[in-house]
Amino acid sequence: MARFSEANLKTATEIISRYPRPKSALIPLLHLAQEQDGYVAEDAMEHIAELVGVTPAEVLGTCSFYEMFKREPVGKYLINVCTNISCMLLGGEELLHHLEDRLGIKAGSTTPDGMFTLEDVECIAACTEAPCLQVNYRYQYKVTPEDADQLLEDLRAGRRAHEVPEHGTLARVRQHIPADRRAGNAIPGQCEEPVWITRAAASEGGEA
């Protein structure tokens, strides 16, 4: 597995069709690849390159810039602990160290059973709920060491499956544009003045 499955290929085609230029779909497609395999595999990048008409190196170039794309398998649950200023002031580092102790790994690595990857991350926009963390990008607020222990236990036992999907799945709701409601892509160089602008200008001119 690594190239897109048939169902994902359909989704990929739909995503590409929404952009005036196919390369714009690169990041959403990399997310789709990560959703399929849990990480971005090399074959997936080659497939994406074919789909959007660039070289695999260009896909890698984009992929490697962004922190969320993992090019090697990570744990089923990616735990991102914020240690930036607001969280640091209220115990973010201590929380990270607590999780390192509990999991027996350093931040940046994965437990041997492939269950958890722990990361020390930058601000995740929950500053008033410090210290906070995300599990596969789902928030946990004002986390005490006890909360963290409970969280690990729940995740191991599969009790959070309804709120926390496996690593790779981001939004569980996708945008769908109904064919009869589509306005269409604005392809550069092929567009004229929008009709409502022309109409408004004409009526203003008429009034004057």
Binding mask 134-173 for other proteins (x = CB under 8 A): x-xxxx------------------------------xxxx
CB of 114 to other proteins, least distance (A): 22
Applying CB under 8 A, does 116 fall inside the site for other proteins?
Answer: no
Applying CB under 8 A, does 1 fall inside the site for other proteins?
Answer: no
Among residues 47, 74, 83, 95, the one that binds other proteins under rule CB under 8 A: 83
Nearer to other proteins, 7 or 186 (CB): 186
CB of 21 to other proteins, least distance (A): 6
**Both tokens assigned to 28:** 């959403």
d(CA 14, CA 40) in angstroms, rounded, equals 20
Applying CB under 8 A, does 62 fall inside the site for other proteins?
Answer: yes
Give the CA count within 13 Å in the CB-facing half-sphere of 27.
8
Residue whose C-alpha is closest to residue 73's, from 46, 34, 103, 47: 34
d(CA 111, CA 131) in angstroms, rounded, equals 23
Which residues, 6 or more positions from 38, have their beta carbon under 8 angstroms from its beta carbon?
Answer: 73, 74, 76, 166, 167, 168
Among residues 7, 158, 162, 184, the one that binds other proteins under rule CB under 8 A: 184
Applying CB under 8 A, does 203 fall inside the site for other proteins?
Answer: yes
The enclosing H or E element of 140 equals strand 138-140
Applying CB under 8 A, does 115 fall inside the site for other proteins?
Answer: no
Residue type, 177: I
Among residues 146, 192, 205, 208, the one that binds other proteins under rule CB under 8 A: 192
Nearer to other proteins, 2 or 127 (CB): 127
Q: Is 112 helix (H, G, I), strand (E, B) or coil?
A: coil
The enclosing H or E element of 81 equals strand 77-82
Nearer to other proteins, 117 or 134 (CB): 134
Applying CB under 8 A, does 50 fall inside the site for other proteins?
Answer: no
